[in-house]
Amino acid sequence: MTEIRHRKGQQIAERLSPGLRDALSDKYDRILPGMADSLIEWAYGHAYAREGLDLKTRQLCTVAALTALGGQTGPQLKVNIAHTLAAGATPREITEAIWQMAVYGGMPAAINGLNAAADVFAERGIGPGQG
Amino acid sequence: MTEIRHRKGQQIAERLSPGLRDALSDKYDRILPGMADSLIEWAYGHAYAREGLDLKTRQLCTVAALTALGGQTGPQLKVNIAHTLAAGATPREITEAIWQMAVYGGMPAAINGLNAAADVFAERGIGPGQG
Amino acid sequence: MTEIRHRKGQQIAERLSPGLRDALSDKYDRILPGMADSLIEWAYGHAYAREGLDLKTRQLCTVAALTALGGQTGPQLKVNIAHTLAAGATPREITEAIWQMAVYGGMPAAINGLNAAADVFAERGIGPGQG
Amino acid sequence: MTEIRHRKGQQIAERLSPGLRDALSDKYDRILPGMADSLIEWAYGHAYAREGLDLKTRQLCTVAALTALGGQTGPQLKVNIAHTLAAGATPREITEAIWQMAVYGGMPAAINGLNAAADVFAERGIGPGQG
Amino acid sequence: MTEIRHRKGQQIAERLSPGLRDALSDKYDRILPGMADSLIEWAYGHAYAREGLDLKTRQLCTVAALTALGGQTGPQLKVNIAHTLAAGATPREITEAIWQMAVYGGMPAAINGLNAAADVFAERGIGPGQG
Amino acid sequence: MTEIRHRKGQQIAERLSPGLRDALSDKYDRILPGMADSLIEWAYGHAYAREGLDLKTRQLCTVAALTALGGQTGPQLKVNIAHTLAAGATPREITEAIWQMAVYGGMPAAINGLNAAADVFAERGIGPGQG
């Protein structure tokens, strides 16, 4: 079963972020052998590649959670906002999921999340109203 | 605008959890005047009643975030799992959103989230495979 | 300087919660030698006994922070709500400080904080409107 | 009631940080319609504008909580240290509230809070001993 | 590689907590298919079964982190205190690792951690001084 | 006892990070009188200088916890990775303790921890494989 998980995980990761596995390997495997394969297998094979919930909703859930968790997940929030666009969500769906977190994680977390979204949208030339 | 927000907020709250406003008022307004109306207006009027993202996805995002935030939100997680069923999600969609949080909030958070879901499902007589 | 800190710390602790040091010693020193004195010296000697901010405001700050930090500090929140009453704050000042945290730590944290306050007030026979 | 909340919220926000509402609107309303009014109404109208606790103490509670919550609230901590000076607190009262959080949120949180305070004081030409 | 990881993970899990995989399967696989194997493979195969750090130190690191993370990890902290005894640590080494977390996660986290340790020691008949 | 704690704390601090006390005093004592002595006495005197757990394991526990706590402790994580090398741990032991936290604090926390370790290793000219 685990080999299937690994292959499925790599397929999803490649769809959301082409070249992710090799980028991770280049950056981390020297100081922690096997890190890239572990991450792909766990995060994508054991989570995103599962059945029972569509990929776009999975990604919106991740954006919401990373927003609520706050500062420690800033870089990963940006990465996942990009993945969520790649999974078919509109910019507006993303900012709505982020803003709703003001209720659960507090206003600072939501504002920082909106700042992250604004940065990702600007990098990709996505203007307001295009959502 | 704010009056509209309050009315819309109350409509959504009533749909997800009939009688919620009055229950909050009975429990909290004595020690904090106006708490029930503030909560309904903010959480439901300024968040769930907004356009741009459907209610079921909003609820799944909330379940994911409360799972990742962990212990401090245990009681609210159960309430929101019930709201998420009321918004049309299947039990399986809920447990998938919870489990995915093992990647972001850690395994203990995900396990505690699954325990909360199992409790809510059991209270409602929802068996495995019914999702 | 440290001996003064220890004495001052013990004076403050005794004012807020008579017998605290010995209760801590009975409970913890067997599994962690010196725990009670360390806690008194650090928390009360190096923090609450300092000049520059009055004790009542210090306690309200602590109640606010423990509310925002959420679940992990539940038992300590109740202890500090009692200490804050002992430092001269009214019940209403305490619930106001707790509720304000909905903005920063999210609604679940504030609701759990109000529940803690309601419990402490009930244990002490403090009714609504007495603040 | 909500219209009154909105007006009172805007009055408090304007006192603590002139022009805040319009700055928020310029920055966020394009990607999330209505964000500025929601924030003013919720954070200032439903929290700071309430009776039962004076504004200076409210702000010190916020500084304490944002310090304890740590990294995710760094930018907001600086904004609120400035607001707390505007509400009449001395620099020393602010650093005392921050330091006390070492007991509850840990030493790293307190050190990061002191760094934020030192930055805000330096930007405003507030020297040591002026508190 | 992943098959090896799964087998190694199961060996470590069995050493620390005999029957863990099947207990997880009985409890969770009905509401989330494959949960038990995923947990064993990830937590034990990709983490504890790795080379480069001995098992006892790994467990003490986990106890320290779960203490610092606080409330959301209470049940898992108890499980891991038991695993840490099984990996060869003394009760005193465990309480020392917990107490040190007062510096990083705050005093409430450390006190809650000591309470968890006291419970586990009591359940196993481990008295003070036996560390 | 407290004078002994202060002296022992200063000895440990000096071993891990020569000149730490005076650097803290220069930076913080102006805005918070006595901060440097308080930190040395509490963090090093009441924690690291205690018996019952060796210094290297204590430091690995700290690295694990700061990784799991995430963003708010970024600067302190780097400082403690350096202290952990000074206490005799290998780079590999450090990255193993960090990575294991992916299970408890989530993948983003572990990745940010590895980034911190890579930075500290690079500053010190420690290459891969030297652990």
SS3 of chain D: the string is CHHHHHHHHHHHHHHHCCCHHHHHHHHHCCCCCCHHHHHHHHHHHHHHCCCCCCHHHHHHHHHHHHHHHCHHHHHHHHHHHHHHHHCCCCHHHHHHHHHHCHHHHCHHHHHHHHHHHHHHHHHCCCCCCCC
Beta strand segments in chain C, E: none
With cut-offs at 50, 70 and 90, classify the pLDDT of residue D131. Answer: very low
* Residue appearing with tokens 């002992």: C86
Amino acid (one-letter) located at A20: L
Task: Please check whether residue C25 touches F, CB under 8 A.
Answer: no
Nearest CA in chain C to D77: C104
Q: What is the DSSP letter of A44?
A: I
CA separation, residue D94 to residues D62, D67, D110 (Å): 10, 11, 12
D-chain residues near F73 (CB < 8 A): 70-71, 106, 108-109
CB of F47 within 8 Å of a chain E CB? The answer is yes
Q: Give the mean pLDDT of F20-24.
A: 95
Q: Closest by alpha carbon to A115, among A85, A72, A81, A87?
A: A81
| C-alpha distances out from residue E21 to A44, E11, E36, Å | 22, 10, 6
Tokens of D1: 């009631």
Taking a C-beta distance cutoff of 8 angstroms, is the pair F31, D118 a contact? yes
Q: Helices E91-100 and F55-69, interaxial angle, to 10°?
A: 50
Cβ atoms of F14 and E54 closer than 8 Å: no
CB-based contact, D65 to chain A, within 8 Å: no
Mind telling me how many Å the CA of C41 is from chain B's nearest CA?
Answer: 29
Question: Given E47, E61, E73, which is nearest F61 (Cβ)?
Answer: E61
Burial of F115 (0-12, 13-18, 19+ CB in 10 A): middle
Alpha carbon distances (Å) from A120 to A79, A84, A113, A123, B59: 9, 11, 11, 5, 24
**B114, B98 contact by CB (below 8 A):** yes
Distance separating alpha carbons of residues A15 and A88, to the nearest angstrom:
12
Average the pLDDT over each of C46-55, D100-109, F70-79 and give the range with the smallest value.
F70-79
| Interchain CB distance below 8 Å, D118 and F31 | yes
Give me the amino acid identity at A129.
G
Mean pLDDT for all residues in chain D? 91
Under 8 Å between Cβ of A70 and A112:
yes
Nearest C-alpha in D relative to B35:
D46
Q: Nearest C-alpha of chain B: how many angstroms from A29?
A: 19
| Residue D108 near chain A (CB below 8 Å) | no
Tracing tokens 């907590």 back to the chain, one arrives at E17
Which residue from D minimizes the CA distance to F71? D71
CA distance E123 to chain F (A): 22
Nearest residue on chain B to D31, alpha-carbon basis:
B52
Q: What is the pLDDT, as a whole number, of residue F131?
A: 47
Query: E49-58, pLDDT tens digit by residue?
Result: 999 999 999 9
Q: Is D114 on the interface with C (CB under 8 A)?
A: no
Given this model, what pLDDT does residue B72 score?
64
Which residue ranges of chain A lie beneath pLDDT 70?
1-2, 71-72, 128-131
- Tell me which residue in C31, C69, C76 faces E118 most closely, judged by beta carbons: C31
Amino acid at B123: E
Q: For the purposes of burial, counting CB atoms within 10 Å of the CB of D52, is it exposed (0-12), middle (13-18) or buried (19 or more)?
A: middle
Beta-carbon-side half-sphere exposure of residue E127 (alpha carbons within 13 Å):
1
Distance CA E129, CA E29 (A): 42
Q: Using CB atoms, which chains have 3+ pairs under 8 A with D? A: A, B, C, E, F
pLDDT, greater one: E79 or A131: E79
Nearest CA in chain C to F46: C38
What is the tens place of the pLDDT at every residue in A91-115? 999 999 999 999 999 999 999 999 9
What pLDDT, on the 0 to 100 scale, is given for residue B23? 95
Interface check for C88 against chain B (CB to CB < 8 A): the answer is no
Say if the Cβ atoms of F106 and B108 lie within 8 Å.
no
Nearest alpha-carbon partner for C85 in C43, C48, C126: C126
With CB atoms and an 8 Å threshold, state whether A104 touches C105. Answer: no
pLDDT at res. A28: 94
Q: SS3 string of E56-91?
A: HHHHHHHHHHHHHHCHHHHHHHHHHHHHHHHCCCCH
| pLDDT lower than 70: segments of chain C | 1-2, 71-72, 128-131
Closest CA to F38 of F52, F49, F24: F24
F106–B contact, CB cutoff 8 A: yes
Continuous H helices in A1-131: 2-16, 20-28, 35-39, 55-69, 74-86, 91-100, 102-105, 107-123
For chain A, list the domains and their CATH numbers: 1-50 (no CATH), 54-131 (1.20.1290.10)
B103·A76 Cβ contact <8 A: no
How large is the average pLDDT for residues E81-102? Answer: 96
Averaged pLDDT, D87-97: 97
**pLDDT score recorded for residue C6:** 83
Rounded CA-CA distance C124/C131 in Å is 13
Q: Write b or e for each residue in D85-108: b if 16 or more Cβ atoms lie within 10 A of its Cβ, otherwise e.
A: bbbebbbbbbbbbbbbbbbbbbbb
What is the per-residue pLDDT for C131?
Answer: 47
Chains with at least 3 CB pairs less than 8 angstroms from chain E: A, B, C, D, F
Taking contacts as CB-CB distances below 8 angstroms, the residues of chain D near A107 are 39, 42-43, 76
